[in-house]
Each structure stands twice: as structure tokens, then as C-alpha cells.
Amino acid sequence: MAASKQQRGFGIGAISLVAIGFGLLTIKEGGTMLFGDEAARIAAGNYVPFVL
């Protein structure tokens, strides 16, 4: 049996919220590496600024 549209909509909404949260955290951490203090850069280890 197929899931109802309401159940499918809830699943897609939940996955969307997780994806948006992951994207926002990625932007936050990238910004911290580029614009944060020296301790944040040392904690990050080796990274490629061009990629960030």
C-alpha cells in the first residue's frame, strides 16, 4: 500500500528541515574558519581557503 500524501508530505518536510539545518551549520563553520580568530583556524587543522 502506498503512503498517504499527508505522511509523504511530513517525511519530505522533515528531510528538508534536516538539509536546511545542515546547510546553515556548514555556512556557519566555514565563516568561522575564514573570519574567526586564530584559535579557530588552528582547531580546524589543514583546510583550503579557496574551497571555503
> Could you give the CA distance from residue 1 to residue 8 in angstroms, rounded to a whole number?
13
User: Is residue 19 in a domain?
Assistant: yes
Query: Tell me: the pLDDT tens digits for 5-33?
Result: 666 778 899 999 999 999 999 999 888 88
Could you list the residue range(s) of the whole structural domain that residue 37 is in? 11-44
User: Is residue 20 in a domain?
Assistant: yes
User: Is residue 37 in a domain?
Assistant: yes
Q: Tell the burial category of 33 from Cβ atoms under 10 Å away from its Cβ (0-12, 13-18, 19+).
A: middle
User: Is residue 29 in a domain?
Assistant: yes
User: What confidence score (pLDDT) does residue 14 get?
Assistant: 92
pTM for the full model? Answer: 0.63
User: Is residue 51 in a domain?
Assistant: no
Contact between 30 and 52 (Cβ < 8 Å): yes
User: Is residue 49 in a domain?
Assistant: no
User: Is residue 31 in a domain?
Assistant: yes
User: Is residue 40 in a domain?
Assistant: yes
> Could you give the CA distance from residue 28 to residue 51 in angstroms, rounded to a whole number?
15
User: What confidence score (pLDDT) does residue 40 get?
Assistant: 79
Tally of domains within the chain: 1
The closest alpha carbon to 34, from 52, 12, 15, belongs to: 52
